Amino acid sequence: MQSKISSFFKSPAHAPKSIDPASVIDGGDDELAIWEKKEHHIFNTYERRRSVPKIIQGNTGEIHQAKKIIPVESCSKPESIITGRTIIKNKKRSYAQFHLDCGQSDFLLHNCSTCGVKFAPGDVEDEKAHKEFHKTYTRGLSFKGWTNERVVHMPNVKGDRIILVLESDPLAQKNKVEEFVKMMEIDLGTGWIIHQYCKVYLFISQQRIVGCLVAEPIKEAFKVISCSVAGSSDGSRKKETNSFSTTLHFGDVIFRREVEKRTSSVTESAELYTTHGGAIFCDDKAVTAVCGIRAIWVTSSNRRKGVATQLLDAVRKSFCMGFVLDHSQLAFSQPTSVGMALASSYTGTGSFSVYRANKTES
């Protein structure tokens, strides 16, 4: 019986389209190999299933769908996050400014030629601070006014005025003076401009402090004899030929003795004052002076407008109560070249008085 069944399955005319599991077991591996070599192929297909969100039930009974959030690290902004299958990008972007160091002398810090402030190019905060200070340095310090102002002079322009600040005034007024003095120190040097015995005159124009004069009481000064550039104070030398000098003859060559006479432009006892523009020679005899102009400074955009002249007029009228000082009773501290021109123009003579200001800090 078994032989008949086997011959039936081996018959090509009655070949089954499928294989009975029992025959595979009985027939062995030969029948299975023959069956696989024919048109019967097995294909495995895989389908990616969509992830099922996790359901979270809150304390109040509400059902929330949990979202898986995966942070994505990035070396630069904007930052991105993945919510489910959606990527959300931050719209705010910040860009960093880079510079190339090619050996520039001012690569890290740039020095402003006008106000003297050093700032880092490309740094937004640093450039903003420099811009504000540059505006203040050239146009003047912002000033809205005080409740109690000591006005000593009123120029012709409406709103302009000169106010006096003393050591006994409120702290807010003295702080304003110190803030303006810091700008003066850029040109005039630090640590000597103001002290407790000084009287400070501020020129106010268009709600800004555009000029400042610092005056102090003095007792004596010295008249200027002449001014010369540093290095040429030895005077000129003149050669004079002595008609009775001895001459030596060596053939066609004649040697003649000459007398060299030095002509000095100042007396030997004259005192020397050094300034930024050269040297000032003064007489050794002191003269009486009442007011010393310790320092005077005007912002660059307000020069050549008579601000310094009006400050000097205000000092002469208000420095001593009851009378007006004469030009000869004013004396200037070691002036710069610009200060010498101002003193000579204001006093009407090149022999104005100068004095040596003590470097007393406030």
Note whether 299 and 153 are same-domain residues.
Answer: yes
Phi/psi of residue 291, nearest 5 degrees:
-120, 130
Is 106's pLDDT higher than 70? no
Note the pTM of the prediction, 2 decimals: 0.59
Helices 307-318/337-347 angle, 10° precision: 60
Note whether 150 and 14 are same-domain residues.
Answer: no
Q: Which amino acid is at 149?
A: E
CA distance 292 to 330: 6
pLDDT tens digits, residue range 261-318?
A: 444 444 444 555 555 555 778 888 899 999 999 999 999 999 999 999 999 999 999 9
| 220 occurs within a structural domain | yes
pLDDT tens digits, residue range 57-103?
A: 555 555 555 555 445 444 445 555 555 555 666 666 667 666 666 76
Note whether 205 and 290 are same-domain residues.
Answer: yes
Contact (Cβ atoms closer than 8 angstroms) between residue 80 and residue 88 = yes
Name the token pair of 164.
């006096």
Is 118's pLDDT higher than 90? no
Note whether 250 and 336 are same-domain residues.
Answer: no
Model pLDDT, residue 164: 96
Q: How far is CA 232 from the centre of its chain?
A: 38
| 16 occurs within a structural domain | yes
Note whether 150 and 193 are same-domain residues.
Answer: yes
Note whether 178 and 283 are same-domain residues.
Answer: yes
pLDDT tens digits, residue range 320-351?
A: 988 899 999 999 997 788 888 899 999 998 88
Note whether 219 and 240 are same-domain residues.
Answer: no
Note whether 240 and 304 are same-domain residues.
Answer: no
Model pLDDT, residue 158: 84
Is 240's pLDDT higher than 80? no
Model pLDDT, residue 232: 42
Note whether 11 and 146 are same-domain residues.
Answer: no
Phi/psi of residue 318, nearest 5 degrees:
-125, -5
Model pLDDT, residue 29: 54
- The CATH number of whichever domain residue 221 belongs to comes to 3.40.630.30
Is 116's pLDDT higher than 70? yes
In order of 197, 215, 317, 334, the CA distances from 326 in angstroms are 21, 15, 9, 20
Question: Which domain covers residue 330, as residue numbers?
Answer: 141-226+268-354
Note whether 322 and 290 are same-domain residues.
Answer: yes
| 42 occurs within a structural domain | no
Q: Which of 203, 213, 202, 205 is nearest to 157 (CA)?
A: 205
CA distance 5 to 77: 78
3-class DSSP string for the chain: CHHHHHHHHHCCCCCCCCCCHHHHHHHCHHHHHHHHHCCCCCCCCCCCCCCCCCEEECCCCCEEECCCEEEECCCCCCCEEEECCEEEECCCCCCCCCCCCCCCCCCCCEECCCCCCEECCCCHHHHHHHHHHHHHHHHCEECCCCCCCCEEECCCCCCCEEEEECCCCCHHHHHHHHHHHHHHHHHHCCCCCCCCCCEEEEEEECCEEEEEEEEEECCEEEEEEEEECCCCCCCEEEEECCCCCCEEEECCEEEECCEEEEECCCCCCCEEEEECCEEEEEEEEEEECCEEEEEEEECHHHCCCCHHHHHHHHHHHHCCCCCCCCHHHEEECCCCHHHHHHHHHHHCCCCCEECCCCCCCC
Note whether 8 and 156 are same-domain residues.
Answer: no
Among 6-10, 136-140, 247-251, 259-263, the least confident range: 259-263
pLDDT tens digits, residue range 152-198?
A: 998 888 889 999 999 999 999 999 999 999 999 988 888 899 999 99
Note whether 178 and 295 are same-domain residues.
Answer: yes
Model pLDDT, residue 238: 43
| 242 occurs within a structural domain | yes
Model pLDDT, residue 110: 77
Model pLDDT, residue 237: 43
Model pLDDT, residue 231: 40
CA distance 211 to 326: 22
Euclidean distance between the first and final Cα of the chain, in Å?
A: 132
| 251 occurs within a structural domain | yes
| 222 occurs within a structural domain | yes
| 19 occurs within a structural domain | yes
Percent of the chain with pLDDT over 90: 36
The total of structural domains in the chain comes to 3
| 240 occurs within a structural domain | yes
Name the token pair of 279.
């040297």
pLDDT tens digits, residue range 25-69?
A: 555 556 766 666 665 556 666 666 666 555 555 555 555 555 554
Q: How far is CA 312 from the centre of its chain?
A: 32
Listed in sequence order, the residues at least 6 apart from 304 whose beta carbon sits closer than 8 Å to its beta carbon are: none
